[in-house]
Structure 1
Amino acid sequence: MNSFTYTRVDDVSIAVREVASDKGAKFIAGGTNLVDLMKENVERPSRLIDITRLTLGEIEPGQDGGLRLGSLVTNTEVAYNEEIERRYPLLSKAILAGASAQLRNMATVGGNLMQRTRCCYFYDTATPCNKREPGTACSAMAGFNRSHAILGTSGHCIATHPSDMCVALAALDAVVHVTGPTGERTVALVDFHRLPGDSPEIDTNLRTDEIITAVDLPAKGFAEHYSYLKVRDRASYAFALVSVAVALEMDGDRITEARITLGSVAHKPWRDPKIEALLHGQNASRNNFERIAGALLQDAKGYGHNNFKIELAKIAIVRALSQAAFKEGHA
């Protein structure tokens, strides 16, 4: 691990000023991802700015009847909050599907959003990686890529985004609040993370001199018809091969609104509103679900070891839609 300096702040404006003054600085709260990356010599910050004393650790009423999650609220606090469980059970289920209880006790909302995309070659400093060192190569392309992306890839990177929480937040149309030297702004969750393109080293649209302060949940939580399905190699403490967050509004057997977000298939949570709209006004049936699954995966591309994920994702979409529509145990 490289040497670094350490600063603790207790005000958002000071945090912004400190990170803006040093291009090598990183914020640290729970540290569940950053510290691991530092141990592996993947991240080498010149300075750590401890933000755990900022007053961003509350869940409180948001705008227009929604809820606001402070960026320092822990994953455990979100998952077991009574209002979240009642109004946004999709989010609670997604968080509880991820990591271990110990990690959820430390991991924060903001830190979860800022997780680096997952790839064994990204963590292995002995191999070329465009995400770690732009312009080298993507070792996963011709390497062992069983867990890698099948959508939104580029010739520079096929890593996937690892978060369960963010998949649910994308389906719920959450909004991220950030603050920087020029003031505050908001970013829709679906636009917060980036596809790799020509710059896979940049995971999000958060600027280096900005800090996440909160995430807003809209009033509509889809508490009746929802499902979070996570397909993984073992039943606990494993990243998904494919995950699916589904949120539906139903009128009898007819779907009036549909949200479908895929996880672990792309560099960001994957959602396509145009394809979701094809379900609007349709009956909840296996035929319609299979048609939507095929449409969502029509541009999918495997790289050898991960070819199976295309068919797996289709099956998972159909199953998650069925669970949400017919309340077959909200997995």
Structure 2
Amino acid sequence: MQNNKLYQQGLIKARQGNYRGALDDLNQVLSCNPNHAIAYTNRALLYYHLKDYKNAIKDLDYALQINPKLSDAYLNRGNAWRHLGKYEKAIKDLKIALKFNPTSDAIYNNLGLAIAQSGEYEDALKYYNKALLFNPKNHKTYHNRGRSFYMGGRKQDAIQDFNKTIELSPNYTKAYINRGLCHHQLGEHQAAIEDYNTALKIDAYNVYAYYNRGCVYYSLKEMRSAIDDFNQAIQLDPTYIKAYLNRGLARYKSGNQTEANKDFYHVMCVNADAYVYYQAQRGTPSDVSYSRNAPQVEVNQGGEYFHTTFLEGLWDEVDLNYRESTICEAEFLDD
């Protein structure tokens, strides 16, 4: 009786978002009853929400050893594999789950996600279509199908799915951000800005909405507005390297070479891979040697290096002008 009370208490905590408290309760339940397959499945969900996918998989392995017919265990293990980038294992588990529950829109939706994330965007569409056949009101399925359309180069089809996502869930910020990116890439700049504005009304602290809107302003050569948005993105996420890079480009285009140099130097010092990448973009030989020699110092220790290196050497004017269309890329958000 006490064990059942603990189990129910853990489920209540989980529904309230208290995953660690729920984990403590289910740990006690399983220590008393190590053959409780559903408890393993539910504890795995707690690990999943805590992004501890390896422990989630271990619990689901135990659950399936006890009861090999648990459809939800295959579904959840498939999703855990997907988050670990093990797409073949994810697809295998999700297809097994489908055999037990062939009318589950959730399984079709997640199978579409796993297949899309493996790079097979067109193949994923048939699973999203099937999911929508069983549940035409799931806004996330429309969003995920829109993602596959986008990744497959079908931006107008993606916009239609993001429209439907927003119709079903008007506060789903990702749909506005991703629709905005489609509009931006189709040259529909005002529509893109309106989508990012709406996203920021819903979530005033969304770093991607600021960053992507800054990219639109950059494309429109409205550098002051672009810099303002990149400033906001950096304030919200000081580790966002692309925002520093694009702010540097916008500052350079505005004639502020000193501040542009600081941003470029920050990119190089904080992220040696970025340093190598942008060198390689210019056709500089021996990428490996650049990676080995990339300076690893704090940006505030650069001193006069800010004013003497980039625009006279690594980041010359021709290079920076060329980058206008290749570096300032907005972000597409996955689920």
| Same fold per superposition (TM over 0.5) | no
| Greater relative contact order (CA < 8 Å, ≥ 6 in sequence) | 1
Higher helix share: 2
Higher strand share: 1
* TM, length-normalised to structure 1: 0.26
* TM, length-normalised to structure 2: 0.26
